[in-house]
Amino acid sequence: MITISLCMIVKNEVETLNRCLESVKDIPDEIIIVDTGSTDQTKQIASKWTKQILDFKWIDDFSAARNYSFHQASMDYILWLDADDILLPEERKKLLDLKQSLTQKIDAVSMIYHAEIDKFNNVLTSIRRNRLVKRSKNFQWHGVVHEDLSIHDQYNSLESDIIVTHKKNYADNESDRNLKLYEQFLKKNKGKMTVHDIFHYARELHKHKKYKQAIEFYNKFLDYEDIRLEHRIFVMHKLASCYHLIGNFKKEIEITFQSLEYDVPQPEFSCRLGEFFLKNNQFSQAVYWYNQAIEAPSANSTHFIERQPFKTWLPHKQLAFCYFQLKDYKQTNYHNKMVLRFLPADEETLNNIKVIEELMMTDYHSFE
């Protein structure tokens, strides 16, 4: 059986750290907590789990802190988590089983990361990340913010079905910490950035509604020829979103059609085309594209970023509207009820169902 070091970097995680560590209890053989400047009780909580608590002077570089934590590890493999990550009980069992069965031939194990969860526990964003790596391979982190591990094709990798869930504090969405870090980095490095940092800087600009700047950096990312297909498709979707948000609908549709040069229609773009036809009152055409979004196969690439709403409640909600306009109340009712599978308390949909069922009853009585 392999041995595992759990390495974490933390700062002011008093609300989340214990929950995270409890979720992986008895799995790591050592726990290494690197604190980057907590002013709350984070260290006291960590001390209940480990004596290996180290301070790291914050230098505005997440990768540097991650690499420092990895250098402290002494076990066969290194597992990394953030304090607001957890393993649900069934996933904890999977990791325990993996610990017992994994052979030393494997250099890196990727796990599914549910990065965003809504209040109904629907997965909004899902991606694979390398979570468990062989210490002897000396894997390094890169990236100023949204850091990642450098793992190349020559390593022996295993794609596991273990899921790590991000229990995010949504107040963090308002923080401009990451944006400021990137701006400091740009100034320090005279505008030079790696493609990895360009990608994440564009997303930070987008998140903070700096759409024109985000467009500039999304386009810089797309100028690189050797980026992965799935990353190109994702960025084209984000770029189209920015054009939509600044009212440039012509460019939005142009980017949408460009995406078809690279791959079959992805749910995001199918929904975008559905919206195009819906706005033009071409409801039958809109129905086609929203159905395409629902029927699209799940991504099977390790690196694909899945945005679940575009193939779950969103197309169903729009299909309900389209079928209502087409006076197909049976289909309208069906798609409204499908929305409730994902958004069980959605008031608009609940009200729509009442209206449609009354209409259907009226139509029924008209034949009596």
SS3 state of residue 26? coil
3-state secondary structure of 130: strand
Tell me the mean pLDDT in the region 129-133.
96
Answer yes or no: is pLDDT of 37 > 60: yes
Place 299 in a pLDDT band, splitting at 50, 70 and 90: low
Q: What is the pLDDT of residues 154-168, one digit of tens each?
A: 899 999 999 999 997
Q: Which pLDDT band holds residue 111 (cuts at 50, 70, 90)?
A: very high
Residues 17-42, mean pLDDT to the nearest whole number: 98
**pLDDT attached to residue 172:** 53
Q: Which residue has the tokens 């649900």?
A: 88
pLDDT value for 147 = 83
Find the Cα–Cα–Cα–Cα dihedral 166, 215, 62, 31, rounded to 10°: 20
Beta strand extents in 275-345 (DSSP E only): 306-307
Q: How many CB atoms lie within 10 A of CB 55?
A: 11
Round to whole Å and give the CA distance between 216 and 317.
33
Q: What's the mean pLDDT in 161-186?
A: 81
Task: Check pLDDT > 90 for residue 188.
Answer: no
Q: What is the mean pLDDT of residues 271-298?
A: 95
User: What does pLDDT average to over the chain?
Assistant: 91
**pLDDT bracket for residue 366 (50, 70, 90):** very low
Give the pLDDT band of residue 363 (cuts 50, 70, 90): low
Supply φ then ψ for residue 64, to 5 degrees.
Answer: -60, -40
SS3 state of residue 60: coil
Evaluate if residue 193 carries a pLDDT over 50.
yes
- Give the range with max mean pLDDT: 16-20, 112-116, 304-308, 342-346: 16-20
- Model confidence at 303, pLDDT cuts 50, 70, 90, reads low
Q: Which domains does the chain have, with CATH numbers?
A: 4-172 (3.90.550.10), 175-263 (1.25.40.10)
What pLDDT was estimated at residue 169? 64
> Which phi and psi angles does 302 have, rounded to 5°?
-60, -35
> CA 259 → CA 14, 100, 222, 288, distances in Å?
44, 43, 12, 18
- Distance, in Å, from the CA atom of 152 to the CA atom of 160, rounded to the nearest integer, reads 17
The 3-class secondary structure across 176-211, one letter per residue, is CHHHHHHHHHHHHCCCCCCHHHHHHHHHHHHHCCCH
- Helix axes 249-259 and 229-245, enclosed angle (nearest 10): 170
CA angle 23, 27, 30 (to 5 degrees): 110
Q: DSSP secondary-structure letter at 172?
A: G
Helix (H, G, I), strand (E, B) or coil at 112: strand
pLDDT given at position 300: 52
* Per-residue tokens: 245: 């948000």
* 321-343 per-position pLDDT tens digit: 999 999 999 999 999 999 999 99
Q: What is the pLDDT of residues 83-108, one digit of tens each?
A: 999 999 999 999 999 999 999 999 99
